A and B are shown apart, each in its own frame.
Chain A
Amino acid sequence: MELAATSGSVNLMETKPKIALFQCQWCLYSESDQYWVDNNLPPSIHLTKVSCTGRIDPLHILNAIQGGADGIMISGCLPEKCHFKEGNLSALRQHEEFINLLDYIGYERERIRFVWLDLQDRGRIQQELADFEVTLTKLGSENALVTRIETPVGRLND
């Protein structure tokens, strides 16, 4: 009994929430930030670089959720600063509404977060990710919409 309790708490301490990070490749203006995201991301964060936030389809987000991500973070450029002039505007309209829909069918909207980065926001992405991790740890794990069955490894053709 005692052993189970301790091992449970140890597990809680050790498992960090899994975050899927969608990053617009133009939004990190400082080179050190981009270097950190490319090379030093903690293993609990899965990076998907996209050419613009407008490239992100709601299906990408849904795929990440179904595959077991505890939270989704989308980082993009501010309006007027989009590399493709208006990609982020279209992204905002779509993703806002998509989150409304997910919330409506029972998925917590706090689990999806936008970060719009500006020129002077050096180092902000690390801060935001840390903040988000704290929020997600508080929320705990989510079962809604996590439906993907993992492909078995080590059978059949392996």
Chain B
Amino acid sequence: MTDLIIKLKTEIKRLFNENIVDVVIAFKKEDSPLRPQPAFFRPNDSLEDLEYNSLCQNNLANYLTKYPHETRIGIVVRGCESRSVNALVVEKQHPRENLYLIGVPCQGIVDFRKLVYQTGEEISGYSENQDEITVIFKGKEYKFDRQSVLHDSCFRCVHPNPVNADVLIGEPLPEGDSSIVRKSVESFEALTKEERYAWFRHEAERCIHCYACREACPMCYCTECFVDHDPPRWTESSVSPAGTQAWHIIRAFHQAGRCTSCGACERACPMDIKMTYMTDKLNEDMLKLYNFESGMDDKTQPPFSSFNLDDKNRFVA
């Protein structure tokens, strides 16, 4: 058990003892070490199973919108999760005074697919340190460099430290390099129009419309999604080229100015479809056009809900 988990446990116990929160959202151990699951601890629950490591795939901010506004929620947040929480607070999905953010600086989430591709499915043990990941597969130890197995969106992460956290556990990490995101968007833009469309089509056509990306995304909290809307039918929701492409384009577009690049959508996808290349582009545009980065505070409205007359210079009449 690492130092960090002990500190987390004492902090959560303190929160319950001082009656600050009603529920704490964190991760717990599961049968497979590859998949720690989100868990919801109530005051008298045992914290025995609490887990925190780089294999925690979900974005916990996803569960905020499932609780009524009166519930006082404590939540373990990494950099991207804290920004998702802020973005949700801006959109009035939960009052900030009923939230208690336990911040943990994040070294990046390990993509379990990258591990499994190199070893095999039945991984029985996992441990990690600062820059090395060790997994046990069929009784044999395999060591990986942390950077080589990070999830793509964590590799590009710019803000690993929680923003606006009430308490920070662990030492803050240095900020990431924003030019890495630029590079990946740039290399995609450098392709010709046909190549870009071919890439998009290749990614979209594998979609099976399970909507796991939607369920994993903290910002997708609409009670009725546009694909489920009927009637009027907004788009084909069958597994046809028209339906899958419309889903991928509009899903990404609904994230414009709201996405925090956590990459939970990609990690949730059973077909391993890349999606962040679109949201990265949208995020970059939002930064360029409106100087806005999602979730950096809990006051600023996202660009699409804060339009003003200064825009009129861009009306080409």
- Residues of chain B within 8 A of A93, CB atoms compared: 303-304, 307, 311
Given A59-B250, A80-B312, A106-B196, residue A90 in contact with residue B285 (CB < 8 A): no
Q: How far apart are A57's CB and chain B's nearest CB, in angstroms?
A: 8
- Residues of chain B within 8 A of A80, CB atoms compared: 309, 312
Measured in the bound complex, the distance between the Cα atoms of B240 and A92 in whole Å is 31
Contact segment of A5-13, A36-44, A95-103: A95-103
Q: How far apart are B304's CB and chain A's nearest CB, in angstroms?
A: 6
Closest to B226 in A: A59
Binary interface profile of A, 117-158, with partner B (CB < 8 Å = 1, else 0)? 110000000000000000000000000110111000000000
Q: Are B315 and A149 in contact (CB under 8 A)?
A: no
Q: Are A97 and B278 in contact (CB under 8 A)?
A: no
Q: Are B311 and A144 in contact (CB under 8 A)?
A: no
Tell which of B199, B256, B289, B315 touches A116, judged by Cβ atoms closer than 8 Å: B315
- Residues of chain A within 8 A of B199, CB atoms compared: 106
Measured in the bound complex, the distance between the Cα atoms of B243 and A149 in whole Å is 11
Measured in the bound complex, the distance between the Cα atoms of B317 and A118 in whole Å is 8
Q: Are A104 and B312 in contact (CB under 8 A)?
A: no
Q: Are A59 and B234 in contact (CB under 8 A)?
A: yes
Q: How far apart are A97's CB and chain B's nearest CB, in angstroms?
A: 6
Which residues of chain B in 13-59 are interfacial with respect to chain A, using CB atoms and an 8 Å cutoff?
Answer: none
Q: How far apart are B296's CB and chain A's nearest CB, in angstroms?
A: 19
Q: Are B242 and A147 in contact (CB under 8 A)?
A: yes
Contact segment of B68-76, B132-140, B186-194: B186-194
A3 at the interface (CB under 8 A from B): no
Q: Are B246 and A66 in contact (CB under 8 A)?
A: yes
- Residues of chain B within 8 A of A116, CB atoms compared: 315-317
Tell which of B188, B196, B285, B316 touches A97, judged by Cβ atoms closer than 8 Å: B285
Residue from B307, B308, B314 whose CB has the most chain A CB atoms within 10 Å: B307
Q: Are B285 and A100 in contact (CB under 8 A)?
A: yes
Q: Are A101 and B197 in contact (CB under 8 A)?
A: no
Tell which of A89, A101, A106, A145 touches B281, judged by Cβ atoms closer than 8 Å: A101
Q: Are A144 and B278 in contact (CB under 8 A)?
A: no
B6 at the interface (CB under 8 A from A): no
Which residues of chain A in 37-60 are interfacial with respect to chain B, using CB atoms and an 8 Å cutoff?
Answer: 57-59
Tell which of A78, A102, A108 touches B249, judged by Cβ atoms closer than 8 Å: A102
Q: How far apart are A41's CB and chain B's nearest CB, in angstroms?
A: 22
Pairs A–B under 8 Å by Cβ, sample size 14:
A58-B253, A59-B235, A62-B235, A62-B246, A66-B245, A92-B307, A100-B282, A104-B188, A105-B278, A106-B193, A116-B317, A118-B317, A144-B197, A148-B242
Interface residues of A (CB under 8 A from B): 57-59, 62-63, 66, 78-80, 86, 89-90, 92-94, 96-98, 100-102, 104-108, 114, 116-118, 144-145, 147-149
User: Other than the known A79-B309, A89-B311, A106-B195, what 9 A-B pairs have Cβ atoms closer than 8 Å?
Assistant: A62-B249, A78-B315, A92-B311, A97-B256, A97-B304, A100-B281, A100-B285, A104-B196, A149-B242
Closest 8 CB pairs of A and B: A106-B197, A106-B196, A79-B312, A147-B241, A147-B242, A89-B307, A105-B200, A144-B197
